[in-house]
Chain A
């Protein structure tokens, strides 16, 4: 029975994922006093890409061909660990909070290999930058997970999402995990998905060789990855207001709170994106150093019992 709910939940997450990107884009445009495309534009984009032919470089190997499937699969597998409907609705027996990071690493590993596969310098650049930033963000992610988990004495997602008390250390950890989210979702000031300028590209440089339906799958995976990180922030790091079980009105209230939280995160991200410039690659190191310091602070506060 639980598995059915998990599958429904995953399907819902995948379905809603592009909408979140659309909403962020809409907020950004409205704040800049522009009309902007409809919030449904990411769906149209995906549909258009999926219907197109694809071009594959003659220098590529099977790594390039299987990568979109591996990325999508690993992202959805990570999504299956995140509770949305109620705190125990996830495959928490399959893995814990740490596992999410390692499963997403599988997709990243293949993405970076595929980027190198075509032999273009853009791909190499993107791959190198992506691995650079992601290896620096790894300790931040881990320490924020540690701080939150130390409050609950467990790294299990089912336990974490059941803790409703808000502690100072969780909030500090949430801020550093928010920086992880910015990095992992390729947002300004770390990366910019809207430009194809070789000086700044990271994620876009890696997917440059992909076209048509392959690109659609990678884009969908990126949308899902984004909602996974938002949901972790909303339901695992700061799970207050979440439904404990699927009885009565609980899930409805829980979903409403969840939607509000996701909207809030989207708003913050959109505001950051329009009010900041993208950082130089080596300025990102400073941001991440700050995030590491913040996450150590979260651990210290948690050790202090707050």
Chain B
């Protein structure tokens, strides 16, 4: 399907002869559906969320920016011209910058905005160079021409374009070590924007990679896939590790986005590997698994951000050390967050589990089919995914447990009320989508196979990864099966049987409500509760070689003998910032300082510059 709408055609401006046309192949349609699926509840949510939070005119501005943001994302995934793609990409980045700094009075927002806009422009610069190289070979900005020209490009140019595109889109995707902006920018935006940024915006980077690398450029060499797989593994582990250490609930979710983008990249990388190894069935399957996780992450991450937003709106804090017990005052938000937390922790039978299972199956089948070292490489990638899954589960046990369970850790928030109706509806909608995308796995995988076939240019007519409408079966014949509806049914029936047996069997016994057992101390209070920092302590110690934690303690004394209170804070050495970004920024400043010497502010020196320049030009013109 290709709909062309010609807006203008000017014969006098050769390279600006842009045909504005939209592309609606399965790949674009898929991303468009994901964008709309998450945008709708987020927009509805903003009605309740912005009310009372901002003055009327600011709400109107918020709506205008929101709509512009959604439209720009939709344009990014549908335009068929690289120049318009760049314009849409840039407007998406700029609009999201304004949304990140929406709380203009907050210094944090302004700082986050600066980091974001610098990083995103570095990324855009890489993409622009790559697309200009494409243009040089294709002679136009039309994406079809790009595709035709790609095969004629020399190998080293293709390698360069690949690296540029990976760096450019990797920045937007938040792939380690280019993730630095993500944990600043995503939490700082209003929550419905955080949900859109983490849920969909970073996915447009996956679109870029699929459209320009997999679809247009084709997989040039094995190391391309290996590089993506290694970066993906690193992103998974680094993202989840930092998420686990985080106390700010929205920052935790942002780091977890880094991790989940890593999982999606695992699918993409595996697909590229299998394409190069000439295993088309596996290539399509691996990419479908990655895209499945993309859909799932879009759903549950935006759900979690919306819930976190409700918590923030009604308690005024995002610090988990101060929250607690919200399940009683915010039961709807708590239930929705629980669904999202279970899904993202990949517990059966929800959707995060399905996509993780599919990715593991892709690695497994690849390991069986591949030769020698790749068997071990793929098995290790699967092991990294398993470790990530385990750590993510810990992270979300902590997030849910600290925020919603036990006693409130700070008395101030005891009176929090539940989210407003529009917010509840949007959260419920996304929570239901979690279940739908888990139980309709067979139907979804059929659609995704078509999308993957389009992206990898492989004919998928004969490929079938389902047994019937309810069961996934990646290998045909006697292979492994997974039926999420059956698993859900089995677990539900068993829960009902267990509950029935319980209540029938214990009719005569009593249930006493009493204090939590306190070893006879009689003074259990929020202060004796386990805290988020304490929860993550084993991880902090075991992974200390990477996190490099250090503590700062402070004794507040009443007198020399009596310590009134004790302050204990844990910090982590941000190794990427310290060893990559700070040296780079310092280098920029050092160079700038040297260049500054050219500008002494004296008119004599400037006249001398002009004289020297003219002299040089005269010599240049005469000599050549």
Contact = CB atoms under 8 A, between A and B. Distances in A.
Interface in B352-399: 353, 356-357, 360-361, 364, 367-368, 372, 375-376, 379-380, 382-387, 389-391, 393-394, 397-398
A232 interface: no
Contacts of B497: 73
A211 B185 CA distance: 46
B541 interface: yes
Given A112-B397, A132-B542, A142-B382, A76 B494 contact: yes
Given A73-B491, A102-B348, A158 B478 contact: yes
B481 A128 contact: no
B538 A128 contact: yes
A29 interface: no
Interface stretch (B273-281, B529-537, B573-581, B603-611): B529-537
Contacts of B349: 103, 106
A54 B488 CA distance: 29
Nearest to A154: B479
B512 to A, nearest CB: 5
A73 B530 contact: no
A117 B491 contact: no
A70 B349 CA distance: 13
Contacts of A303: 367, 372, 375-376, 379
B113 interface: no
Nearest to B539: A132
B400 A136 contact: no
A77 B490 contact: yes
Contacts of A134: 390, 393
Contacts of A54: 506, 509-512
Contacts, number: 284
Interface string A139-182: 10111001101100111101100000000000000000000000
A109 interface: yes
29 contacts: A50-B506, A54-B506, A54-B509, A56-B512, A56-B514, A58-B514, A61-B404, A69-B499, A73-B491, A73-B495, A91-B490, A93-B486, A96-B480, A105-B348, A106-B349, A112-B397, A117-B406, A119-B529, A128-B534, A132-B538, A135-B389, A142-B360, A143-B379, A146-B382, A159-B478, A213-B509, A282-B538, A299-B376, A303-B367
Contact of B515 (A58, A62, A141): A58
A70 B498 CA distance: 9
Contact of A118 (B400, B467, B478, B516): B516
Secondary structure at chain A's binding surface: helix, strand, loop or mixed? helix
Nearest to B497: A73
Interface string A103-139: 1011011001100111111111101110110111111
Contacts of A159: 478-479
Given A52-B509, A55-B514, A156-B481, A94 B397 contact: no
A142 B383 contact: yes
A113 B509 contact: no
Contacts of B482: 94-96, 99
Contacts of B218: none
Interface of B: 324-325, 327-328, 338, 342, 345-349, 353, 356-357, 360-361, 364, 367-368, 372, 375-376, 379-380, 382-387, 389-391, 393-394, 397-398, 400-402, 404-407, 467, 471, 475, 478-483, 486-487, 490-492, 494-495, 497-499, 502, 505-506, 509-518, 524, 526, 528-531, 534-539, 541-542
Interface of A: 50-59, 61-63, 66, 68-70, 72-74, 76-77, 80, 91-99, 102-103, 105-106, 108-109, 112-113, 116-125, 127-129, 131-132, 134-139, 141-143, 146-147, 149-150, 153-156, 158-159, 208-209, 212-214, 217, 281-282, 285, 292, 295-296, 299-300, 302-303
Contacts of B397: 109, 112-113, 116, 127, 131
Nearest to B397: A112
Given A117-B405, A155-B480, A281-B538, A59 B357 contact: no
Given A121-B529, A146-B382, A57 B390 contact: no
The winner among B372, B510, B517 for most chain A CB atoms within 10 A is B517
B505 A50 contact: yes
A213 B515 CA distance: 19
B535 A59 contact: no
Nearest to B389: A138
A63 B405 contact: yes
The winner among A103, A119, A129, A156 for most chain B CB atoms within 10 A is A119
B494 A77 contact: yes
B517 A120 contact: yes
B350 to A, nearest CB: 9
A128 B402 CA distance: 12
A5 B329 CA distance: 47
A109 B393 contact: yes
Contact of A208 (B379, B499, B517, B539): B517
Given A70-B495, A134-B390, A99 B348 contact: yes
Nearest to B482: A95
Contacts of B534: 124-125, 128
Contacts of B513: 55-58
Given A103-B348, A106-B347, A117-B406, A135 B390 contact: yes
A178 B424 CA distance: 46
A285 B509 contact: no
Contacts of B342: 106, 109
A155 B364 contact: yes
Given A91-B490, A109-B345, A129 B509 contact: no
Contacts of A51: 509
Contacts of A139: 383-384, 386-387, 390
Given A93-B486, A94-B481, 8 more contacts: A53-B511, A63-B338, A116-B405, A131-B398, A138-B390, A214-B502, A296-B376, A303-B367
Contact of A102 (B353, B375, B475): B353
B529 A124 contact: yes
Contact of B491 (A58, A66, A106): A106
A91 B398 CA distance: 33
A209 B524 CA distance: 14
B62 to A, nearest CB: 34
A155 B397 CA distance: 29
A121 B390 contact: no
The winner among B364, B499, B516 for most chain A CB atoms within 10 A is B516
B394 A131 contact: yes
Nearest to A102: B348
B487 A94 contact: yes
The winner among B348, B375, B482 for most chain A CB atoms within 10 A is B348
A112 B379 CA distance: 29
Contact of A57 (B393, B516, B542): B516
Contacts of B364: 146, 149-150, 155
Contacts of A62: 327
A61 B328 contact: yes
A95 B387 contact: no
Nearest to A56: B513
Closest 8 CB pairs of A and B: A124-B530, A135-B390, A119-B406, A73-B494, A116-B401, A96-B480, A138-B390, A131-B394
A117 B483 CA distance: 32
B389 to A, nearest CB: 6
Contact of B494 (A72, A125, A295): A72
